[in-house]
Structure 1
């Protein structure tokens, strides 16, 4: 085994390459044995060789050489000029009255900063970029699948068209055969009648010929030929062929009839990613301060909206709220002043079913009849999701920036919750572990929100229950009301929201109150501030509850925590 190349051999002197390393030159970064130290020292006398024991290698600072004074080491640092300097520099007029620091002190501070940045790079930035790369890769894989599904759907649609065209071809050719048979049968009947007349004429001719050829006068007198009946010729039947008027195949028209492909896009959001942390959920991070229930909730302010009917409210900030009613306008109000600040109309002119505000402060609304989800940016409405065979109803924006939307099928036999990430379908929640539907079918409101512990909470008016699933879509619990109820009416949930304490609050329109639950579905209390038909709910960052009153078109701001 070659001692110089063996991986298990101890380190050898860089000069003689045989003796064991004992010393180290911090100036030249050379490993030496004791016998070779002298030879190394005289090999280059222009340098000041710093010889240290091997264990202390790289312990001697190598000061930078001054750019102005040859062979002078910079051992100090000029704070005003922000440069390293040597003793000759300090004595010069250039740095007169300047303050200096020992370079090693500056180095220590710089090392500390570098270590901090290195730690950030290793523990935060690098893992974040790895997650982003993984996220993009997952999105690419998802796109491959979804584009494949789209191509399959188009191909299937084409096959359906082929089947329908084959049916039409068979139908038209059958109609041609039927027309042909009808005309042939009519002509055949006419031909049979003419052939019978021809036979009768032949018999008449034969009878006359026989009478003329005989000398029997009685036979001659018995001939009663009446040529007149044969002088009237039969009518002439002239069949006309049916015509097939083919529709001209127009590529543009056919393209529209076949179906429209709405192009996708790549949206850019500079706030779309956030630095990786060890926090797993809002509850797992810095917990909010514990708040206690007020003995009696109190109304802080009441806002008159002017809507004919009021259905929902969402906070843009602690000073502003968006509202919707039974027309095509979405109105922004100042909470403190109670005045309208802005009014936005839907793109289609339809009534918006529900509204939400994204993390970036943009308004999102659902258009049930147009099967679209739209976003309002700089007062311009943009369609971001268009559905097929499903209609969007309620929507909420999550802590991660995703959208959760409740959908119902066109035939009103199914409903589901879909998570959209960047307006791309990410996760579907529809059935429990036994394959049973989680939500009601039909035209019912299914208001939705995300709790602080990332549970997905739906107030299902069809089943008269609050249905709560975890982030993965697994059923956690159903809440079907509490007795006794304030008005002794069955539980009739509408709007739903959550606060910083992970409480779940849902409006009960028949009992004119709000039910307050803990995160596990246990009833805590009724909130009753004289609301009339509470419908939509939302909560601001200070845990003030905003309650929409359907009939008297007011929004109440309620304090219930302290």
Structure 2
């Protein structure tokens, strides 16, 4: 089974920065160097949650606190100037900013900006399509041994299966590269990431030969896969990746 989206990917975790309560659940002040409990996703100051570690874990859910994970998070969601939660991208300066950066008389007060969440949602939507593609290919490759075919059709079947596996390898490489970005780099490099996603889809298109239509007459596909002949497997499963991108 293909690896699915990681909870700790900057693309997905926490789900929506704009809806996060910016008060630390320990000190009740604006969280400094904010981190999120990986269990309940409540926000805390890095210093506050480190003090809780030796006692009962997360003060909200009592979940185990992973020091190495929180150290990685410590600067991930923090404004470099104010140590507060990043929620916006200043499109004039192309940097992530916090609410203090947008306050009256602040450096970015009169600049244009967009929500970081909206950018992540666009990228995540395209990534989710790649995950769906991997699920469908897993369904195809998980059909087991095909004993009711032989000869030329069997050769076509296994050739097609090998092409799909090559596609999966390409997608895994793309996913790993994108999920390797921290939040700030993810936003900064969003245009390059979009280009990478498009290049991946284009390469899939070039890799895929028209699938053997006779395979679909075998009636061995599970209901949830149920593909129909199209002349191109990529067209069935990846043509909508960029519909709303």
Structure with larger Rg: 1
Q: Which has the higher helix share?
A: 2
The answer to whether TM tops 0.5 is: no
TM-score by length of 2: 0.29
Q: Which has the higher strand share?
A: 1
